[in-house]
Chain A
Amino acid sequence: MILFDSVTKLYPNQARPALEDASLEIEKGEFVFLVGPSGSGKSTFLRLVLREERPTSGNVWVLGKDLMRLSNWKIPALRREIGTVFQDFRLLPNKTVFENVAFALEVIGKPKSHIRKVVPEVLEVVGLEGKEDRRPDELSGGEQQRVAIARAFVNRPKLLIADEPTGNLDPGTSVGIMKLLDRINRLGTTVVMSTHDAQIVDQMRRRVIELEHGHVVRDQSRGVYGYAR
């Protein structure tokens, strides 16, 4: 699903690489936590998967595609197979819940009839039925993140990337979001999420990859947040 082969990413005008000689593999169907202190390279890792950045050296494979060889015009097709969720939700404030999810389908040219069918379905999956016509500012943070997850999941992607999805939420709400991501994972989507939330990681007991200064320093199946070398 994802394969990093001694990947180094050095941003322009930076002294130290954000990611250095990172090699790892994530299999189909896995649920992976990406942990590590601030600035350790978690977001950089996720951006490389999305091909928002290209590695300085090394190779990245995602969904069977060699991203180093992937031409620019094929990037949209790659991203259609990957759902993305961020800490700041990234919703359009002047669109309703329904329209926010529908937007993701409209801009990839899906027909209206298809949109009318799948958007209510996915809103039910994330538990937002009955709130289709609300705008983001009429929703709680947790509900807004559910809209973002619905948008990421509406195409039933093979891979879901989440960069600190609970970073702006209180612990109770976070648990709900984690249950949702777990459910999506059980529906067959590989989930990779970065987080600073120790409680969540400790509760879920899933694979944990820890980064420090751009190096993979721990890779544990059924791991915990706390660093125990």
Chain B
Amino acid sequence: MRAQFVASEVGNGLKRNLTMTLAVIITVAVSLTLFGVSLLVRSQVDTMKDFWYDKVEVSIFLCAKGSDTPSCVGGEVTRAQRDQIRADLESLRPLVSEIYYESRTEAFARFQEQFANSPIVDSVSENALPESFRVKLSDPTQYDVVASAFAGRPGIEQVNDQRQVLDKFFRLLGGLQAVALIIAIVMLVVTVLLIVNTMRVAAFSRRRETGIMRLVGASNLYIQLPFLLEAAVSAGIGALLAVGGLVLAKSIVIDQVLAPSFQFTAFVGWDAVFAIAPLLLIVGIGLSGIAAFFTLRKYLRV
């Protein structure tokens, strides 16, 4: 097989079909960028879960004076109740990994710190904030065990799981990711159809050459290879553009826009981008190669 001959055939083919080639490159680039973004969002969710699930706690708020939940009819939590709760929490080890008691004074101090520059500080008195137990779980998914043991007990106003709030947020991100993935898949299907059509046009516009090739006994591989390489080259260019798009998304959108404004959370690192990039190339080149192969089998038969 003469590489030079095949290479010049591929080059000529790409030039001859410039508009179609561009269309393939653009659809491949757009669909793979979307595909890459959806994968990036997924690993962002994973990164945030790792980051936050480590930090989330279950808060057990104790009854204060004047609480009106049914479990607080006895008024402010008594010392005996508080000691009993602490003992029960201790008995839940090792599921319960850390127990921290926050008094009203501490709660107030923390509140003041958090809202230091806000006028709301002045309108809240020290007694308005309840005392609480802050509990860390070795397995945050086992929240229900704690909730069922403590919720509704006399002296406890409320059991609150931060994880549930986070989960709502993660579900939102997951939904976004699913939408991006669906659009990406639809776009990939469109891309495949476009490649099939491009190959059909290319095979038709070169039917003279391929007809002669068949007559003089060129092998199927030799006849089809220029077409296959053409499809692979344009898909490869598209995939590289998509990788470029992903790199831009990481270095500009994430590193320069999101990360500075949301410093309290972690963002995906470059390792995620490097893991996705080869996948985009494989999916892009693989899909176009398969689409081209099956189209050519139909239109360039011996």
Complex: chain A residue closest to B5, CB-CB: A106
User: Quick check: is A15 within 8 A (CB to CB) of the other chain?
Assistant: no
- How would residues 176 to 190 of chain A score, 1 for a CB under 8 Å from any chain B CB and 0 otherwise? 000000000000000
> Could you tell me the distance between the alpha carbons of A155 and B208 in the complex, rounded to whole angstroms?
21
Residues of A within 8 A of B80 (CB): none
> Could you tell me the distance between the alpha carbons of A80 and B218 in the complex, rounded to whole angstroms?
8
Given the interface pairs A106-B5, A107-B213, A109-B1, the reply to whether A76 lies near B218 with Cβ below 8 Å is: yes
User: Quick check: is A78 within 8 A (CB to CB) of the other chain?
Assistant: yes
Residues of A within 8 A of B219 (CB): 73, 76, 108
Residues of B within 8 A of A77 (CB): 217
> Could you tell me the distance between the alpha carbons of A111 and B213 in the complex, rounded to whole angstroms?
17
> Could you tell me the distance between the alpha carbons of A121 and B220 in the complex, rounded to whole angstroms?
29
User: Quick check: is B145 within 8 A (CB to CB) of the other chain?
Assistant: no
> Could you tell me the distance between the alpha carbons of A168 and B32 in the complex, rounded to whole angstroms?
53
Complex: chain A residue closest to B301, CB-CB: A72
User: Quick check: is A198 within 8 A (CB to CB) of the other chain?
Assistant: no
**Structural contact, A109 and B302, CB atoms closer than 8 A:** no
User: Quick check: is B215 within 8 A (CB to CB) of the other chain?
Assistant: yes
> Could you tell me the distance between the alpha carbons of A73 and B222 in the complex, rounded to whole angstroms?
12
Q: Is the interface of B mostly helix, strand, loop or mixed?
A: helix
Q: How far is the CB of A207 from chain B (nearest CB, A)?
A: 25
Residues of A within 8 A of B2 (CB): 106, 109, 111-112
**Structural contact, A107 and B222, CB atoms closer than 8 A:** yes
Give the interface size class of chain A: 20 to 34
User: Quick check: is B120 within 8 A (CB to CB) of the other chain?
Assistant: no
Complex: chain A residue closest to B302, CB-CB: A75
Q: Count chain A CB atoms within 10 A of each CB in B211, B215, B220 and give the residue with the most.
A: B215
User: Quick check: is B165 within 8 A (CB to CB) of the other chain?
Assistant: no
> Could you tell me the distance between the alpha carbons of A109 and B219 in the complex, rounded to whole angstroms?
10
User: Quick check: is B214 within 8 A (CB to CB) of the other chain?
Assistant: yes
> Could you tell me the distance between the alpha carbons of A24 and B218 in the complex, rounded to whole angstroms?
29
User: Quick check: is A103 within 8 A (CB to CB) of the other chain?
Assistant: yes
Additional A-B contact list (19), CB under 8 Å, known A72-B302, A103-B212, A108-B218: A50-B215, A75-B217, A76-B217, A78-B217, A79-B214, A79-B217, A81-B217, A90-B211, A90-B215, A92-B212, A104-B216, A106-B5, A107-B212, A107-B213, A107-B216, A108-B217, A109-B222, A111-B2, A151-B216
